[in-house]
Structure 1
Amino acid sequence: MARPGACEPQSALLAKIVMAGEADVGKTSILRRYTQASQPASFITTVGIDFKVKTVSLNDTTLKLQIWDTAGQERFRTMTTSYFRGAHGFVLVYDVTNTESFQGIAHWMKAIYEKADENVEVILLGNKCDNEAERAIPKHRGEKLAWEYGVPFFETSAKNNVNIEHAFSVLAQEILDKSSCIPLRPDVVDLSGNAQKRTCCKL
């Protein structure tokens, strides 16, 4: 029996993160690179939704990231955006070799504004920066778009493992820094994708 006044062990905090963007921009590859030791040689396009969990330690706090990998195809979008509710953060991805995926960022940001709770954290990733021969979106355009939205920006390569760990670390830290306004849930994985709307304090 614990002594009176003794501190009880604190369980890990759980933060829900949603990956969003057009189809084939590399969301699944990014997630696998981040959560697995090595990058698979091939992968299957996400059908609907899937998630992985990775535990990180920040500022002496254990934070479990429940990362949802959503499909970008039009036919899945109603289901995909239903998972935005209750998210603490978003990883918004476009493909630097695909102009349409870059133009689609506006749609996804609009969906985040409409479907997600207030004060969520967002990072913007320009993926496949290893493929300079087919680049269609210069880095400065990604930087400008991120500046307009007021979010951090990284060019990434899931293939060559460029900036993946760093990007997620920045997002996790920003979520944790704002946890006084965005209550993080206890260590229980919500398979339904549904969560009660959070009450956020005003800054």
Structure 2
Amino acid sequence: MPLSPQAERNWEQVCSVLQEALEEQPGRQLFALELGSGTGQHVVRFAQKMPFVTWQPSDIQEEARQSIRAYIAATNLTTVLPPVHLDASEPWEKWGGVPRGSCDVIVAVNLLQYSSFKTARGVLNGAGQILKANGLLVTYGAYAINGTIAPPCNRRLHEELRKMNPEWGLPDVDVLRQLAYGNGMRMERMVKLAHAGLKKNKIKL
């Protein structure tokens, strides 16, 4: 199975933020959609730590979905569903058959900076449709704030991403905030994690 060193480094911190956010909903069986699940390392780790959540992993690439299936099989987890093909830049109706208003949580780890603005807009548009009332959209990654990218390591990351694909790069939190507002959501808070410059946004309906 593919192993992402980056996923192994950050899953515990992302998971701790998710656990804290979901502590407010005790005694409930929740449904979560992960966008861009990649290798599947995150979703199986999250499922092991939060058995009260049923997880729907997704990815645009078949190779990634094969890896996710392998991780599910290796861990024997029953709370992780088979991965679905999902292109977040497309309208939510094409999001792997996920119904409107069905998700308590949507998670996107290191997705937005490796995507075009069309995808970022699609994530916010789709989340506004498929999240339940008071549902959570949780994203993790490096971001620009009011047009400023800091510290220097994030500026280097942004430049490297631009070289890989001119449509990629660190999205601006203020732009995401406006997109969220236009889709019936508000940015609740940002949490700075131990990795310098990496922040998690939780956007709540």
Per the normalisation by structure 2, the TM-score is 0.42
Q: Which is helix-richer, 1 or 2?
A: 2
Higher alpha-carbon Rg:
1
Normalising by structure 1, report the TM-score. Answer: 0.42
Higher relative CO (Cα under 8 Å, sequence separation at least 6) belongs to 1
